[in-house]
Structures are given as structure tokens and as C-alpha cells.
Structure 1
Amino acid sequence: MTSEFTSLGVSKWLAESLNAMKIYTPTAIQKACIPKILAGHDCIGGAKTGSGKTIAFGAPMLTKWSEDPMGIFGVILTPTRELALQIAEQFAALGASMNIRIAVVVGGEDIVKQAIQLQNRPHFVIATPGRLADHILNSGEDTVGGLRRVKYLVLDEADRLLSNSFGSDLERCFSILPAADKRQTMLFTATVTDAVRALKDKPVPESKPPVFVHEVESVDKVAIPEKLLTNYLFLPSYVKEAYLFSVLTHEDNKDSTAIVFVNRTHTAEVLRRTLRNLEVRVTSLHSEMPQSERTNSLHRFKAGAARVLIATDVASRGLDIPSVQLVINYDIPGDADDFVHRVGRTARAGRSGESISFVTEKDVERILSIEKRINKKMDKYEKISDNKVIKSSLKETSVAKREALMDMEKEGFGEKRKNNKRKHDQEKLVSTSKKSKGKK
């Protein structure tokens, strides 16, 4: 029987792997992009979260790789460590029957082990730009030389990678990769920004077919999944913890798997400890946690050992945790696109889900711009009343929060970040003064 994937040009062995993973029918973005990538086009793919973008770029790369498994075949750059690990898991599962070798090159892990992996020429390198740039700068030609001959480059969550925060690291990564006419480049994103669109207008070498751009159902219009309920709760900022506890323990939500998004690592840690003191099965994910803890946290949440994940935006991109039923925006993001990515963690692949945004007196402007972006008004969340919160949660939440803050102070939470910032500022000062002396 011919698989729908083999009719797109995917190798028979890979179609069998997809079959074994119970993936039988290509999604719209896979149907559109796989044949074009196999035909040699650079590709810009825009589709909402949960639509199968990883297989859209992974299937053609793995098909071509299996025909000629030389050196480092492809590099996939992604903005967060967790997303890099998730893509690596998918590639490992798809390529298991072909003895695929993958190196994950992200911050927070042993840099020497990574250098050895790169020296051994894995087939695919999945990396965050900062750590790969680090290796290019410091690890020597033996380690990074294999990157000079890659056939494919993928920017996953391209809108985020093309923002200013990754600029210099990306440039360093590109500096060692083959020129644009000697490799195939693919950009995938749930948010097709102007920076992403501008790339399609760049001149294409005569030796290459034109850039293929595919946006499913104009991503901007269908920003959030159809089966997602979007609600808001208007509340005073000083009792947010009590409202959160009330929502999470409400009869309708007490068994739901939930992600609670916050804007700062300090808030994430306060909430994790507060909820733990209130006997909620909770874990967290933020940039001040060591990488091993971040990985463990995610595993606990995926396995159901923790019911609630408190996270900064490191968890808003691309992470696929099928069981998430509820997303709470404890803090409203400053960028409406970040809201789209956050709520996209639920109601994935046709399932239903719910999001609740905590709106304080300071958030009204942000909510209006989010409603404009998603082309939809949010509904008022009616299950929690002020009286109920005051009666059932306020006192015990205040006590739990006070204990959490005292513990954090004792342990010196955030000191490492402050010290690193101080060190970074001093290094910057030294390098600036050296430059100015050199000019004299």
C-alpha cells in the first residue's frame, strides 16, 4: 500500500517510521512543503502551532540524508533549549532504524562533551545560536570544520531567531556555514513577521529554484486554534496568587493539566514555591534553573508527575505536550505574538483547550492589542468570584507566599544572575577601555 507520505516523495523507510508513530496523513503544511524542499527550493513555511512543522522540514531532510549519509548533513537552529531537545527526540525516533546520529548543542550542558560530539561528525546538529556561536569562536577547526559542508539549514521559530536578541550569534553561525547558494535554507514559524517575509524577496542565485513561501490559511487570520476558549479574569494585582490558586483548585480544573505563564523568572519561582506550600503538584521552567533541572521539570510535567507547570516564555515556543488542557496568562505578555504562542500550547492537533488571562488595571492596553491580533474578543471567566477568593483562598495563599519569599531570601535566589551581570558589565568595560586605548 502506498503511503500518503511516499506519494509526496518521502523515502519508504521513513514513511514506515511515521506509520509506526501513528502518523498516517500529512498536514497541510507537510503536503505543501515536503515536495518543494525535495525539489531543491528554499522554503518559508508559516502555520499555526501544532500543525506538524517539524516533520515538514524533517521528512525531506531525512529522505535526502538517507540517499547520501555524509558528514554533518543538516543544522537546525532554534531559540530555546527545550525546543532543541524536542526536535532531537523527533529526529531520533524517525531515524532510529537508520542509526541516525544527532548532536544537541545548547547552553547549560557540558561544552567539552559537545565538542567531542561535533568532532565525530553527527548527521544532524540541533542547536541554540548562542552555544553554537560559542563553539565556532572557541572550539577549533577540528570541532566545527564539519559545519562548512552542510546541505541544509533550518531556522525553527524563525520570527524569534530573526529578532535583535539573536543577531550577532546568528551571524557567527552563518559565517561558518556554506554560502546561501551552496545550501538549502528553510524557515518555519507560527508567526510570519515582516523580517521573515523580507527574506523571500532576496535575489536567488540562477543555480537555485525560487524561494517557496507557504502560509497555511494566512496565519495572521487564524492565529489561535478553533477549539480554544479564550477567557479573561479582571482582578487587583495584589491578590493574583489567591486567584491563581482558586482557578487551579476549582472543581472544573482540579484535574486539568495547566501551564501558567509569567514574564519574570522571580515570579515563576515565587509561584512554584507558593503552590508547592499549598500542596499543588507543581514544577517550573525558567532560565535561572540549571539545564538538568529544566529537563527534569519538563519530563515530570509530560509524565503527569506534576499537574501544573509555571513557565516563562522559554516554554511558549513549539513545545508539544499533548495533555495540556489549560493555559493561564498570570502575566500578560508585552507582545501579542507571544500570547498566540503561549495559548498555542493547548488545543493542539484538533483537541479542545482553554486559556484564562489575568487582567489587572495595568494590562488593559495589552489586552486590546491582543484581541486585535487574534481578531476575537475574550470572554469573561465566570467561575471565580471575588467573594469566593476572599473566603476560600486569600489567607492561606498569603501565608504560603510569605514562606516562599523567606525561603528564597535564605537561599539567595537570583544572586547568580546578579553576579553574572556584574561580571559581564565589568568585562564590557575592560574591552571598551582597551579599544579606546588602541585608538589613541
Structure 2
Amino acid sequence: MSKSFTNLGVSKWLNESLSQMAITTPSAIQTACIPAVLEGRDCIGGAKTGSGKTIAFAAPILTKWSEDPSGIYGLVLTPTRELALQIAEQFAALGANMNLKTCVVVGGVDMVQQTIELQRRPHIVIATPGRLADHIKSSGEETVGGLRRVKFLVLDEADRLLSESFASDLSECINILPNPQDRQTLLFTATVTDAVRALKDRPVKEGKKAPFVHEVPADIAIPTTLSQTYIFIPSYVREAYLYALLTLEENAKKSAIVFVNRTRTAETLRRMLQILGVKATSLHSEMPQSERMNALGRFRAEAARVMIATDVAGRGLDIPLVEMVVNFDIPADADDYVHRVGRTARAGRAGESVSFVTERDVTRIQNIEERVNSKMTKYEGLSENKIIKDSLQDASEAKREATMAMEKEGFGEKRRIQKSKAASGMALNNTKKLIAKGNKKPKKSSA
């Protein structure tokens, strides 16, 4: 008998909600994890992008919540604002028939409004660690006190949340929650790293079962319908090659995500392509939240066929119709490459990835090929003569125009000021420590 959500233990009302969303057959990770969570076990779930991880944790949480709805029942932490909003949409859709109240706590949005929503004790809070940590430090017990009684903590994209960049904020968030023995902790990720896997070895309270672990087989990390190609080029002509690639006759109507490593590159390429007549949008951390959501909406609605993005779009986001992924910059981490190219060739459809390989990227490409256990093939659609003839001058002029406009607008100035203030604050603290150390009286010798 084939599995159904009812067979897994999901509430009848939730099964009906899933059916209304045309979700009737559980995926592998849902089949594995939902029963374990309903048994009361902590869970580490690894599965490739697009495999249904959100429902794998949302379904058991909502089933348990409906049996005993009280206060802030679950906290979901995720690394990006877009993922937080997407997860909130899924919770809201699943719980619509039961008047589920959700609250999204992310940066770029008015903190006062978030404070009011938290004080109303929503059932599920979905947050990025940085903004939630800000509330914990500054908004008072009336606002964050409900977090002290949550029944579930979810770390979505757990490998990123457990990295050094989130360490301080994540610690602030977790410290306000009940002890691990008094809540269920669910970690979900497309990459089960050693840091994630190590959590299963933590001591557990007597009577509580060890965490359940479900990992994706490594050999299916890259879709079999994905064509992986490369173009070996000098770094200073990448813009011309990108313009030529996107406007080739066979690519001119394809939806594409172009991944870059820096926000400035993303903004430069977006402006350059728009000047050249390509319908492009961008997604990066220096955009206001409203602009980020508008950009995603335009791309999903196919009002823009090209999105230039940093790795903020590499994971989890539901962007179903992507025919091509271009790695304008090669990522330092091979797993980031896996997440990027996983944006295309989904649900059995064909897809294509093209990586721009410069003289500095050879080692990174070797690491990627070793990670995915396959070799990239050379992209044959572009010739150097064609680039020089048709694209080089136009792309160079458009890039120059885009760069000048960004300089005039002071792009990135806010971030530079913040970094400067942070560096000054650190230097001041270090100076105070040295002064305090110098003022200490020397210990008397025992001689």
C-alpha cells in the first residue's frame, strides 16, 4: 500500500489542507521524518533542494499544535529573509482552516510592528537569527517572553545557521528557549555537514529517544537531467561573454539565474544588462526588503527572464521555472555549487548550467567535479571572434555606464559606514582592555 499523509499520522484536517494544495503523496524525506517527529524525537533531515523539507517539519508541528494550541508553539530559524517569508506562506496555507497565526521576524521591516505581533503570541514564529536576536536584546520580556515556552525549534538550512557567521545571533536566540530536553529540535538542510551530524551525539534526557537522522544519498545531489558545461575565459571579458550567452538565439527566451559572489557584482550586472535591453532583475543583501520581494515576484511572473543573484537565492527558494544557471563567479565551497545548479533541472525537467572559469578558478572547479563525481563539458555555443565582433564593445560601455551610476548614487556606502563603525568599536574595546590591563596593580612577589 502506498504511503499517504494519514498513514504517517498527520491530522485529518491537515491532510485535507494538503489535498487542497494538490499535495497527496509524501516525498521520501516526509515519509521518513514525519512519524519520527510525531513520536517526540529530535530530527536531522537532509534532502536535496525541492524535496519537500518544509512540509516534513511543518506537518508534524501543526498536527501536535492542533492537539494542544498554546502560546508561541514553534520557532523556525532560517538564514535569509526570502526563505523566512516563503516558509511563513506555507505555514499560513497549511493552517488557514484552523486560524493559525504566524509572525515573520526579519530585517528590513519595521521593528515596532514586529514587536506588536510578537506580543500577540502568534502560534508560529519564523525568523532570521539577526533580527530575532535584536528583539531579544532590546524589546523586553513582554515581547519575547513567549519564546521561553516553545515546543519546537526548527533550524532550516541548518548547515548555514551553524556556521561561524551566525554563531553569536543564533546563540542569543537559543538561550531564551526551553532546555533541549524540554523541546523538540528539528534540523533540516540540503547538506548534512559534520557540524550538523555531530548534534545527534549530544546526551539525551533519560526516557527521550536519540535523534532521528535521515540523509540524502550523495549520488543524487546533482539532477541526472542537468547538463553541466564550462567556458574558459579571461576574467576581464566575462561581462561580454555573459551578454553574448544570454542573447544567443537558443537562449534568448530562457529563464536564467546568474550567480555571483558579491553584491556589487550583482548590481553592476543587473544595470548593465538592462542598459543592453535584457529584462533582468537582481537579488542581494544590499537591496531593501520590499525591492527583494518585488524582484522575486517579477522573476516568478516572468516579467524578468534573468535574475542576477548572490547565494541568497542559492537555497530553498521556490523558483520552479529556471532553465539555465550561470556561475559568473565560481563559489569557494563546492556545496554552494550544488545548491546553485539545483535551481534548474527540477522535478525531472531538463536544465543547463554554464560556469565561467577564469585562470584563478581551476582548483575550485576540480573540487566541484570531485564533489559531484562528474566532469563538466566545454560549452560550444560561443566563439572568441563572435564575442569580439558582437558583444565586447557594447558590454564594456554598458558596464562603464552602470558603474558610474552606482558611484553617483553611493551604492554600498551604508554597508561601508557600518563596517567602519564596527571596526572602530572593536578598536575602542581593545584599547579599553589594554588600559584596564595596564591599570592593574602588579602582584606582590612571594620571594
Calculate the TM-score normalised by the size of structure 2.
0.95
Q: Which residue of 2 aligns with 1:371?
A: 369
Q: Which residue of 1 aligns with 2:206?
A: 206
- For the residues of structure 2 that align with 1:207 and 1:182, how far apart are their CA atoms? 12
Report Cα offsets for 1:201-238 as digits up to 9, x if no partner. Answer: 1111113111100113x2x3322122111111111111
Give yes or no for contact 1:3–1:24 (8 Å, CA) kept in 2: no
Letter in 2 for 1:202: R
Any residues of structure 2 matched to 1:117-196 within 5 Å, and which? 117-196=117-196
Give yes or no for contact 1:41–1:210 (8 Å, CA) kept in 2: yes
Letter in 2 for 1:201: D
| Structure of higher CA gyration radius | 2
Give yes or no for contact 1:51–1:349 (8 Å, CA) kept in 2: no
Letter in 2 for 1:229: S
- For the residues of structure 2 that align with 1:24 and 1:404, how far apart are their CA atoms? 48
> 2:392 pairs with 391, 394, 397, which one?
394
- For the residues of structure 1 that align with 2:434 and 2:120, how far apart are their CA atoms? 42
Q: Which runs of 5+ in 2 are unaligned?
A: 440-447
Any residues of structure 2 matched to 1:31-50 within 5 Å, and which? 31-50=31-50
- Say whether 1:354 aligns with 2:352: yes
Q: Give the root-mean-square deviation of aligned CA atoms.
A: 1.3
- For the residues of structure 1 that align with 2:347 and 2:75, how far apart are their CA atoms? 27
Q: Which residue of 2 aligns with 1:80?
A: 80
- For the residues of structure 1 that align with 2:193 and 2:407, how far apart are their CA atoms? 41
- For the residues of structure 1 that align with 2:64 and 2:363, how far apart are their CA atoms? 49
Q: Which residue of 1 aligns with 2:410?
A: 412
Give yes or no for contact 2:300–2:319 (8 Å, CA) kept in 1: yes
Report Cα offsets for 1:84-132 as digits up to 9, x if no partner. Answer: 1111111111111111111111111111111111111011010111111
Report Cα offsets for 1:48-77 as digits up to 9, x if no partner. Answer: 111110011111011111111110000001
Q: Which residue of 1 aligns with 2:233?
A: 235
Q: Which residue of 2 aligns with 1:269?
A: 267
- For the residues of structure 2 that align with 1:4 and 1:45, how far apart are their CA atoms? 19
- For residue 427 of structure 1, report the CA deviation from its aligned partner: 2.3
- For residue 300 of structure 1, report the CA deviation from its aligned partner: 1.1
Give yes or no for contact 2:3–2:31 (8 Å, CA) kept in 1: no
Q: Identify which range, 339-348 or 326-335, moves more after superposition.
A: 339-348
- For the residues of structure 1 that align with 2:141 and 2:431, how far apart are their CA atoms? 31
Q: Which residue of 1 aligns with 2:93?
A: 93
- For residue 7 of structure 1, report the CA deviation from its aligned partner: 1.0
Q: Identify which range, 342-351 or 229-238, moves more after superposition.
A: 342-351
- For the residues of structure 2 that align with 1:69 and 1:303, how far apart are their CA atoms? 37
Any residues of structure 2 matched to 1:227-376 within 5 Å, and which? 227-376=225-374
Q: Which residue of 2 aligns with 1:28?
A: 28
- For the residues of structure 2 that align with 1:228 and 1:204, how far apart are their CA atoms? 42
| SS of 1:186 mapped into structure 2 | strand
Letter in 2 for 1:250: L
- For the residues of structure 2 that align with 1:100 and 1:7, how far apart are their CA atoms? 24
Q: Identify which range, 59-68 or 366-375, moves more after superposition.
A: 59-68
- For residue 302 of structure 1, report the CA deviation from its aligned partner: 1.1
- For residue 349 of structure 1, report the CA deviation from its aligned partner: 2.5
| SS of 2:282 mapped into structure 1 | strand
Letter in 1 for 2:95: G
Q: Identify which range, 61-70 or 344-353, moves more after superposition.
A: 344-353
Letter in 1 for 2:316: G
- For the residues of structure 1 that align with 2:349 and 2:15, how far apart are their CA atoms? 25
Give yes or no for contact 2:3–2:26 (8 Å, CA) kept in 1: no
Q: Which residue of 1 aligns with 2:55?
A: 55
Q: Which runs of 5+ in 1 are unaligned?
A: none
- For the residues of structure 2 that align with 1:129 and 1:155, how far apart are their CA atoms? 10
- For residue 395 of structure 1, report the CA deviation from its aligned partner: 1.5
- For residue 415 of structure 1, report the CA deviation from its aligned partner: 1.2
Q: Which runs of 4+ in 1 moved over 4 A?
A: 435-439
Give yes or no for contact 1:74–1:125 (8 Å, CA) kept in 2: yes
Give yes or no for contact 1:34–1:60 (8 Å, CA) kept in 2: yes
Report Cα offsets for 1:387-416 as digits up to 9, x if no partner. Answer: 221121111111111111111111111111
Report Cα offsets for 1:244-302 as digits up to 9, x if no partner. Answer: 11111111211111110000111111100100000111110111111111111111111
Letter in 2 for 1:397: A
Q: Identify which range, 298-307 or 360-369, moves more after superposition.
A: 298-307
| SS of 1:221 mapped into structure 2 | helix
- For residue 3 of structure 1, report the CA deviation from its aligned partner: 8.1
| SS of 1:69 mapped into structure 2 | coil
Count of aligned pairs: 437
Letter in 2 for 1:237: S
Report Cα offsets for 1:288-331 as digits up to 9, x if no partner. Answer: 11111111111111111111110111111111100111110000
- For the residues of structure 2 that align with 1:362 and 1:428, how far apart are their CA atoms? 33
Q: Return closer, same or farther for 1:428/1:73 CA change in 2, 3 Å cut-off.
A: same
| SS of 2:286 mapped into structure 1 | coil
Matched-pair identity in %:
69
Q: Which residue of 1 aligns with 2:443?
A: none
Give yes or no for contact 1:181–1:207 (8 Å, CA) kept in 2: no
Give yes or no for contact 1:3–1:15 (8 Å, CA) kept in 2: no
Q: Return closer, same or farther for 1:431/1:111 CA change in 2, 3 Å cut-off.
A: farther
- Say whether 1:65 aligns with 2:72: no
| SS of 1:92 mapped into structure 2 | helix
Letter in 1 for 2:135: H
Calculate the TM-score normalised by the size of structure 1.
0.97
